[in-house]
Amino acid sequence: MKPANYDFLSKLLREKSGLVLSEDKMYLLENRLAPVARKRGMADLDVLTDTLRTSADAGLLSDVIQAMTVNESYFFRDKTPFNTFKQHTLPALMPTRTAKKELRIWSAAASTGQEPYSLAMVLKQDIRVAGWRFDILGTDLSSAVLEKAKVGLYSQFEVQRGLPIDLLVKYFKQVNDMWQLDAAIRAMVRYKTYNLLENIRTLGTFDVIFCRNVLIYFDPPTKTKILNEMSRMMPPDGQLFLGGAETVVGLTDRFKPIPGQRGVYSINGTALKAAS
Ligand SMILES: C[S@@+](CC[C@H](N)C(=O)[O-])C[C@H]1O[C@@H](n2cnc3c(N)ncnc32)[C@H](O)[C@@H]1O
């Protein structure tokens, strides 16, 4: 690929999806985009780039963005955030919300659904929340991954990664060589295609935001902008969960780390209540 075309594509990806490609990632771009070009009968990536430059082919742009994004996810990824959510977040937030008995939760890069469904399974099993209403929203840039999430069909490999066997038995049924998540759990999550670079505040307000393993792909100003926007979408005691390699430190002072809970932040930084 011509270096000028690499520059064009990396700039376009940064603008449209936030993805930052360092200068040595030409091989990655070529590997991921070659199938997109082939599928459309284009001779090579220079043709693909010229098409993007000269036409308003939204379908091609979307295919390019989706080919470049990492969609990897698994149930109860890193375990601790889900234990924290159950043992600390719920006991900290519920006492001040007994009038409405409602919690709004956003999985901001939901990918194929394992993250919001892990939260839904935690809630489904918790007797403390009987009579409560949970609005769980899963968003992602890619509508293709959200389609998979909605169907809730996972391979043996996918259910083996992180999902406790008792939850597999309880909430999944085998469909040929796949496993389908129970309709009642699927119904707890609604999905919406949404780009985090867009005006996310139109999504409303949330008591808990899981924004895990997506900021890592963005440059610092983009991370700061998204984190600041999120801080305006939460009450002071709302809790933000980031991925293991992500932090707010050096990016914004609107969120404070919650003492003792790695990767969990709130606006007031209040210490969490101990598990009851
Ligand atoms: C690595 S997955 C993380 C999934 C899940 N949060 C987890 O931790 O397992 C990253 C997801 O972020 C999505 N993504 C990337 N850029 C995005 C953007 N600008 N807006 C919304 N989602 C984006 C990708 O499509 C992908 O599904």
Q: What is the pLDDT of residues 41-53, one digit of tens each?
A: 999 999 999 999 9
CA 100 / ligand 1 centre spacing (Å): 31
Between the CA of residue 188 and those of 55, 98, 138, what are the distances in Å? Answer: 40, 20, 10
Cβ(213) – ligand 1 distance below 6 Å: yes
What percent of the chain lies above the pLDDT cut of 90? 92
Minimum-distance ligand 1 atom for the alpha carbon of 17? 19
The span from the CA of 269 to the CA of 131, in Å, is: 28
Q: 200, 209 in Cβ contact below 8 A?
A: no
Atom of ligand 1 nearest to the CA of 243: 8
Predicted local distance difference test score (pLDDT) of residue 276: 35
- The ligand 1 atom at the shortest distance from the C-alpha of residue 107 is 6
Average pLDDT over residues 258-274: 80
Q: Is the pLDDT of residue 270 over 80?
A: no
Mean pLDDT, the chain, whole residue set? 94
pLDDT band at 272 (very low <50, low <70, confident <90, very high): very low
**Two structure tokens written together for 209:** 């935001």
Distance (Å, whole) CA 115 – CA 234: 20
Pocket test for ligand 1, best of 19, 69, 145, 148 (most atoms within 8 A of CB): 69
Q: How confident is the model at residue 138, as a pLDDT?
A: 98
- Our answer on whether the CB atom of 71 is closer than 6 Å to any ligand 1 atom is yes
Q: Please tell me the pTM assigned to this model.
A: 0.95
177 vs 254: CA distance, rounded Å: 47
Whole-number Å distance, alpha carbon 7 to ligand 1 midpoint, is 23
- Could you report the per-residue pLDDT of 76-90, keeping only the tens digit for each? 999 999 999 999 999
> So what's the pLDDT on residue 274?
39
- The number of helix segments (H) and strand segments (E) in the chain equals 12, 10
**What is the model's pLDDT at position 55?**
84
Mean pLDDT of 184-193: 98
Question: Cα separation of 68 and 246, whole Å?
Answer: 20
What are the beta bridge partners of residue 209?
106, 240
Rounded to the nearest angstrom, the distance between the alpha carbon of 134 and the centre of ligand 1 is: 22
Residue 271, pLDDT > 70, answer no
Burial of 212 (C-beta count, 10 Å sphere; 0-12/13-18/19+): buried
* Pocket flag, ligand 1, residue 138 (CB < 6 Å): no
